[in-house]
A = this chain, B = another copy of it.
Amino acid sequence: MSGWVAVAGLGPGADELVTPEVMQALAEATDLIGYFPYVARVADRPGLVRHGSDNRVELERAAHALELAAAGKQVVVASSGDPGVFAMASALFEALEAGPAEWRLLDIRILPGITAMLAAAARAGSPLGHDFCAINLSDNLKPWALIERRLRLAAQADFAMAFYNPRSKARPEGFARALDILRQECGPDRLILFARAVSTPEEELRVVRLGDAGAEMADMRTMVILGSSHSRLIERPGSPILYTPRWTE
């Protein structure tokens, strides 16, 4: 059996942020699977069958990839950012664990990529330069009470915090509630970054104080990073630099 599955991280958007390892897997694939906009990021070529699918069908997509590989295909599952961070890798393993035993014999590789928080942090400066956490603010797959608990504990730990999926049309109110909780825990002066569509032509960065932050500053393409109590702004001509020093007192 020559089939394999590679779950590949395409990074945040720019081609220059895609690793050679991922490019190689894409060059060898017979089948490309993924959410429509991610599949659309890969150039077409003869011999590559494209299977775009809708959002929120991660498990079906994962099972489809494993079925194709079991049938001898070389399958790339395209993921935005890094596949292991709020993306397709865990969905693939959920499908694997629930599926037929022979799937466990397949050659499965996860190919890392530049996840959104690293790209956003790099464009703004270095807000994740000290201890930090990453929280998915979507409550599709976990209760809101758990999100709230994690926000409070992370604030008490004085982590910088990277927020994925801050806001969607289906959940317009969640992010506003998250900002309220963070203001209670961290106060109005804490720095917060809104980084939209990083590394694409639509890129837009904005750093404000938590007291001035509003839920409308984020959409589905926005990565939000809250600084720790030590995060600082360096003012300069043009955009300021947001960074978190390596030390604490």
CB neighbours of A112 from chain B (8 A): 17, 114, 118-119, 121-122
Query: Quick check: is A248 within 8 A (CB to CB) of the other chain?
Result: yes
- Residue of B115, B141, B156, B245 near A153 (CB, 8 A) is B156
CB neighbours of A134 from chain B (8 A): 128, 131-134
Stretch of A37-45, A77-85, A174-182, A215-223 lying at the B interface: A77-85
With A and B bound together, what is the CA distance between A92 and B93 in angstroms? 39
Q: Is there an interface contact between A243 and B19, defined as CB atoms closer than 8 Å? A: no
Contact code string A102-113 (vs B, CB < 8 Å = 1, else 0): 001100111111
Residues of A within 8 A of B (CB): 11, 14-21, 24, 58, 82-87, 89-94, 96-97, 104-105, 108-115, 118-119, 121-123, 125-136, 141-143, 146, 149-150, 153-154, 156-159, 232, 234-237, 241, 243-248
- The 10 A-B pairs of least Cβ separation, nearest first, read A90-B129, A89-B126, A133-B133, A104-B236, A110-B122, A153-B157, A93-B243, A16-B21, A141-B247, A112-B122
Residue pairs across A and B with Cβ atoms less than 8 A apart, 5 shown, are A14-B21, A18-B20, A93-B129, A93-B241, A150-B159
